Amino acid sequence: MPNRPHAPPLRDRAGVLVTRPPPGLAETMEATAAQGWRPVAAPMLDIVSCPLAPGGAASAAAPPQAVVVTSSQAISAIALPDLVNIPCYAVGAATARRARAAGFVHVQVAPEGTAEGLGRMLLACVVPSAGALLLAMGRGYGMDLARGLRDAGFRVRRRVVYRVTRRRRLDARAGEMLRRGQAGAVLFYSPRTAQAFMEALTPALRMALAQVRAIVISARTADVLDAAQWKSVEVAPTPDSAGMLACLGARG
């Protein structure tokens, strides 16, 4: 059996690999640095926006009664003059902040920060007969939420406003940090990101994970990782950036 890479002292393992794509990447890098860590960008997904045509989502005859957003990746594609004054229901605080910054006037946020919580909020706050819901999603996402809302009597206009592609290779700097044993943790914000990261690793880099913490946003994300390969796999107490950073903690 090959030897595992030599582990440097804990004080030298100050690197944190941040695997999320923009726009959240820069925000997380800044927050990680503020906690005393050395963040390294290692995005594993690329986001391609598929903007709605102006007027295409909300005609004068039948505009939607609400816009529903489960990811901040959708915001840039739907920040249109005919939509920003319509109530917007966002999955979490970060998505809500970006919606407000993009011009949405009436934004409600699901307190649980999950698609399931967003669905429950809509069922409690919105009347199905008042009009359709515009569900702005990524390709391959949102089918369960759309199905649940339709089963509850809503008319749902599901629109694909971005698509996600995986990167096949790990960023060179991130790979070098792992190889040298300088990474203390890797932050994973989705199951797709975790899967892409693992598929990009060489056998030697997989061996290096024994000295690295995996900080994950949800139990579904943790399920993608083999806990035996890592120093630890830790699920954030809340499924958002605040929970991820709290789980990471400040560098001692």
Model confidence over 179-212: pLDDT tens digits? 999 999 999 999 999 999 999 999 999 999 999 9
Domains along the chain?
Answer: 10-44+168-248 (3.40.50.10090), 47-165 (3.40.50.10090)
Per DSSP bridges, beta strands 232-235 and 213-216 are parallel
| Long-range contact set of residues 168-173: C-beta below 8 Å, sequence gap at least 24 | 168/199, 168/200, 169/200, 170/42, 170/44, 170/197, 170/200, 170/201, 170/205, 171/40, 171/41, 171/42, 171/43, 173/40, 173/41
Q: Is the pLDDT of residue 164 over 60?
A: yes
Rg of the chain over all Cα atoms, to the nearest angstrom: 20
pLDDT band of residue 2 (cuts 50, 70, 90) is very low
With a pLDDT cut of 90, the percent of the chain lying above it is 78
Bridge partners, residue 211, by sequence: none
Whole-number Å distance between alpha carbons of 45 and 22 = 9
Question: pTM for the whole thing?
Answer: 0.80
Evaluate the CA torsion angle 102, 106, 111, 116 in order and state its sign. negative
d(CA 143, CA 165): 18
Alpha-carbon distance of 221 to 139, in angstroms, equals 19
Quick: pLDDT tens for 103-115. 999 999 998 888 8
